[in-house]
Structure 1
Amino acid sequence: MRDLLKKAEDKNVADLEDKNVADLAPLTLTEAKSIYQEVLSALENNRYAKSNARELAAKAEYQVKHAIYLAAVLDEVRKDKKKWEVVFRNFEDRFDQIASQLGFQGHYENGLAETEKDIVLAIQNLTDENKTLKEELKELQTKNEQLSEKVQQYENTVVTELEKKKEREEKLRKIEQIFTPDEAQVLLSGNHLIIRLYGLTFRSGTAVIMPEHFMLLTKVMRALREFPNKTIEIAGHTDSQGNDAYNLNLSENRAAAIRAYLEANMGLPPDQGNWLI
């Protein structure tokens, strides 16, 4: 590869000299030769450094073509000095094309430097603005992801709550069908299942459950099994005989009787019932 590069360098240099490139574009030609020497030096120090050598060789070839182009333009100008103005106006036109895309008009009364400075500044401003927009976009994307997660969580919660509500309502309707209006009223208040027993009565002054009410309590047990984890309130009343203390004690004894009956027949946990009779 080193020999091939050396031959290519010698041939290119010879061609350039034939075209007077060495006289018309000496700086560019010197740069091309310098890069060729870097390629040869790199291969001499490490013959396996082909990747780096190829990159340098491409740069050298570019500078050769660059020198040829410059020499051709300068040769025309040398032949007709009026073309200098055309060359400079071409530069200005190209600057104007860039400036117009950036939103301003170039000024060349003092040369190209002022417009060049404005172009660089405009590009820098665009670069900074682009960086800011990317940061804002990233922040908005993060917020959007967070909002999407919250919306998803909310939707899941709403769906879950609706499903639970629907399930509770279906169970409530099922329980309501167990009892006749004369036997009980079934209510669901929050986490509480309330069964108001109208058909369960006691003999005056007693807390003994009569056998004719066993069927009604069997229905109560069926209802309780639909809500095994709910707090249960069985509400009833006493008659007006006796004073308040007596009736309160009687009410508690009747509640205890029903509680004992339910616990004995369905294994109801002691802490599940809120017994009010």
Structure 2
Amino acid sequence: MKFARWWLALTLLLGSLNAQAVSPQQRLAAGKQRLAARQQRLAARQQRLAAKQQRLAELLAQLRIENGHILFPSIYHSFQKQLGLGAAGDSSKQLSPELQDQLRVELEAWVRISREVSGFLAAVLEVRGEAVALQAEEFAADVFQEAEKQLQDAARAYHQNQRKKARQLSERARQLYLQAQAEAIRNRLLGEARIFIQESKDMGAENYAPRTLALVETLLADVERLVNSGRYDDPNLTRRSQLLEEQARHLLSLMQVIRSFHRDKAAAEAYLLELEGGLDSLAALVNYRPRYSQGLPQVIDELSDALHSFKNELDQLREENRRLREENQALRQQVARLEKQLGRKRSLASRIQRIGEMLAPRDISVRQEGDWLVLGIDNVPFAPGSSAIPPEAEAALQAIVHALAEFAGQKVQVVVSLLGKGNPAYNQNLAQQRARALAHYFQSQLPIPDRLIETLGEARNSAGSNSRGLNRVAVKIQLPGR
């Protein structure tokens, strides 16, 4: 017996060892599978980290769009440093997932803050942009830097809910930006304009471009007068300064072209042919064929008329497109409303069908009359002269309770029609009492407020012996959306 047990244990042990035996090739394949799975997990993790890093770079770019680098430069540069972003927006840092999540939340908050503050300081930022366009950062550096400080202080005050202080600081910043504009105009633009005028005169502008020269000299005098008057907030200063810069450069360019005509007799022809080629390209866009034999001024006039007509047609098409978009939007909304109504009707029809199937075994009729769902019982066997609910009607009434629960919150009417002979006034009063008893029964089963339930008793004479003494009950439920 002991030998048999020993032999059985040895057999089981050898079987277990054989089952666990794995060839070297199988172990190598299993190892490769585990390595591949690990590499896949690492690649997926790197992709998630890269996506988060890209999101942070996008948020930093959004912060710049919302003027965060102007209003809150220290905050902006702090984020830039933490992200390790270079000028091209590429990141040289690999952040941990926890730090990425923290920076994302902070960046999203500062984007919202900068957007709100930019809205408050929109007028000042516009003046700042004009100052930058006039190169005030370089040619009025001290005033411009002071304006920047006042603007950043205004942004911080607004963020700290110090609105009165923020308004005062923003107005101060606006005045300084206007002053910086004027100084940049004085230090750069006026000097450049005088140089352009003198160079143009040296090339004979007084003889070959007298009207353009007169215009530039008039603009120069106007801008000098505005700058010297100290009226930095005059809107004409910026407009006329920009016009002066453009016209002064135009004068010099015009004289360079005219001078080239003197040096090379064929240059004028080449210039005009090049101009005609440009006009041809433009005319082709509006289906106009220039006839240069009529003279260049005539061609330009006709092309101008054609462009004007083209613009009018384009405006009409844009207006028509806008109208069609509005009509399309209205149709989409109408279709959505109809689909919603159809969905409600289908749902209602399904509910009514379900109620009909539920009440059919109780001999309760279900029909729709206009805006009402009518549940009818041919006879509730009240005791003669009594309005007490008969026990044999409990099952049918409970079925109606379930139907009422399907339309909770809807108006209910309970109508009892007493068919029989006798005193009409007595029968009418008895029918009304029975209708109220049924209403109280339904209210005892469901939370139906008094304002949503009505009762009506009717007395009808009946000559037929089969219908005498019948109590026909109709429970009417107002359908939703009616």
State the TM-score, normalizing by the size of structure 2: 0.44
Change (3 A) 1:259 1:223: farther
SS in structure 1 of the partner of residue 365 of structure 2: strand
2:251 to 61, 67, 91: 67
Question: Retained in 2: the 8 A contact 1:193–1:230?
Answer: no
Change (3 A) 1:207 1:44: same
What residue is the counterpart of 1:193 in the other structure?
Answer: 375
Question: Retained in 1: the 8 A contact 2:219–2:244?
Answer: yes
The range that moved more, 254-263 or 101-110, is 254-263
Q: Give 1:167 shift.
A: 2.3
Kindly provide the CA deviation profile for residues 217-266 of structure 1, in whole angstroms up to 9, marking residues without a partner as x: 22232234334955668899xxxxxxxxxx9638x999998886665466
Q: Does residue 35 of structure 1 match 2:207?
A: no
Alpha-carbon distance in 1 for matches of 2:417, 2:221:
105
The range that moved more, 136-145 or 2-11, is 2-11
What residue is the counterpart of 1:267 in the other structure?
Answer: 440
User: Identity over aligned residues, as a percent?
Assistant: 15
1:88 to 258, 262, 272: 272
Q: How does 1:136-215 map to 2 (within 5 A)?
A: 136-177=320-361, 179=362, 184=363, 186-190=365-369, 191-196=373-378, 214-215=390-391
The range that moved more, 127-136 or 102-111, is 127-136
What residue is the counterpart of 1:249 in the other structure?
Answer: 421
Question: Retained in 1: the 8 A contact 2:203–2:259?
Answer: no
Change (3 A) 1:189 1:138: same
Alignment length (residue pairs)? 254
Work out which of the two has the higher radius of gyration on C-alpha atoms and give 1 or 2: 1
Q: Give 1:75 shift.
A: 1.9
In structure 2, give the amino acid aligned to 1:135.
E
Query: Which structure shows the higher helix fraction?
Result: 2
Q: Does residue 216 of structure 1 match 2:392?
A: yes
Alpha-carbon distance in 1 for matches of 2:440, 2:224:
96
What residue is the counterpart of 1:244 in the other structure?
Answer: none
Change (3 A) 1:92 1:201: closer
Alpha-carbon distance in 2 for matches of 1:10, 1:134:
45
Alpha-carbon distance in 2 for matches of 1:138, 1:271:
57
Determine which structure has greater relative contact order: mean sequence separation of CA pairs < 8 Å that are 6+ residues apart, divided by chain length.
1
SS in structure 1 of the partner of residue 199 of structure 2: helix
What residue is the counterpart of 2:176 in the other structure?
Answer: none
Q: How does 1:9-28 map to 2 (within 5 A)?
A: 9-28=193-212
Structure 2 residue runs of 5 or longer lacking an equivalent are 1-182, 405-409, 442-453, 460-470, 474-482
Kindly provide the CA deviation profile for residues 31-52 of structure 1, in whole angstroms up to 9, marking residues without a partner as x: 2222111111222334425763
Alpha-carbon distance in 2 for matches of 1:89, 1:65:
24
Change (3 A) 1:13 1:158: closer
When the two chains are superposed, the root-mean-square deviation of aligned CA atoms in Å is 4.0
Question: Retained in 1: the 8 A contact 2:364–2:375?
Answer: no
Question: Retained in 2: the 8 A contact 1:21–1:71?
Answer: yes
What residue is the counterpart of 2:305 in the other structure?
Answer: 121
Change (3 A) 1:116 1:8: closer
Change (3 A) 1:76 1:167: same
Question: Retained in 1: the 8 A contact 2:286–2:306?
Answer: yes
Alpha-carbon distance in 1 for matches of 2:223, 2:277:
37
Change (3 A) 1:255 1:60: closer
What residue is the counterpart of 1:134 in the other structure?
Answer: 318
Question: Retained in 2: the 8 A contact 1:195–1:234?
Answer: no
Question: Retained in 1: the 8 A contact 2:196–2:252?
Answer: no
Kindly provide the CA deviation profile for residues 120-139 of structure 1, in whole angstroms up to 9, marking residues without a partner as x: 22222222222222332333
Question: Retained in 1: the 8 A contact 2:205–2:255?
Answer: yes
The range that moved more, 185-194 or 102-111, is 185-194
Structure 1 residue runs of 5 or longer lacking an equivalent are 237-246
SS in structure 2 of the partner of residue 83 of structure 1: helix
Question: Retained in 2: the 8 A contact 1:99–1:105?
Answer: yes
Alpha-carbon distance in 2 for matches of 1:235, 1:47:
93
In structure 2, give the amino acid aligned to 1:271.
L
Alpha-carbon distance in 2 for matches of 1:32, 1:176:
97
Alpha-carbon distance in 2 for matches of 1:43, 1:271:
91
State the TM-score, normalizing by the size of structure 1: 0.70
Change (3 A) 1:254 1:89: same
In structure 1, give the amino acid aligned to 2:440.
G
SS in structure 2 of the partner of residue 249 of structure 1: coil
Question: Retained in 1: the 8 A contact 2:193–2:248?
Answer: no
